[in-house]
A and B are shown apart, each in its own frame.
Chain A
């Protein structure tokens, strides 16, 4: 029963997220509203982490598996992608590397740990 209750709490916040996304036409996805609402509930101690610990841990653990079915859609997308495939690949590779570098280097610079200096 414990896990069912935990799942119910998570589904409730997901539903509230869907409701907010429908009410506020800003184009912010339901998952974001749900995430923000659940985060706020945790901060204000309305929900304690222990109350959803196992169910949320399980859902996050299976997230990579949930990417498989959407990826199979490649089967239908091959035609659309074929025209701009080189651009598509270059944009993804370049922007991923640049984003990685920006986030990593800025964080390293500001977090003040310079481990490359041998002191």
Chain B
């Protein structure tokens, strides 16, 4: 049953990313949505935009995030807003919140992948050296014979 409420003042708002980009160009607005209990139908009733997030790094290899900290504090403190995980990660990186656990996990995964790649590269290099060295040895052996 649908309730007759004003989404702006009802329940616990949630903060999340709203995709505002176009084809092949993601761009997010960090928005405050109405209570999730109202259903997805009300997701389009964005209460407030509190920031932006540009996930494509620019020419200086920076991902730009803008946050309206004053309003965020209001929504988090006064209205006890629910925050989605990607936004929590961004907030953690910005230093407003502690770092989100998933960031740590991802960092470690990335490190492991990098390590594996490095190891593979080193192995490949050593193999190549072996192959280069081996025919020389054969040649030297042949010369001795």
A binds B: no
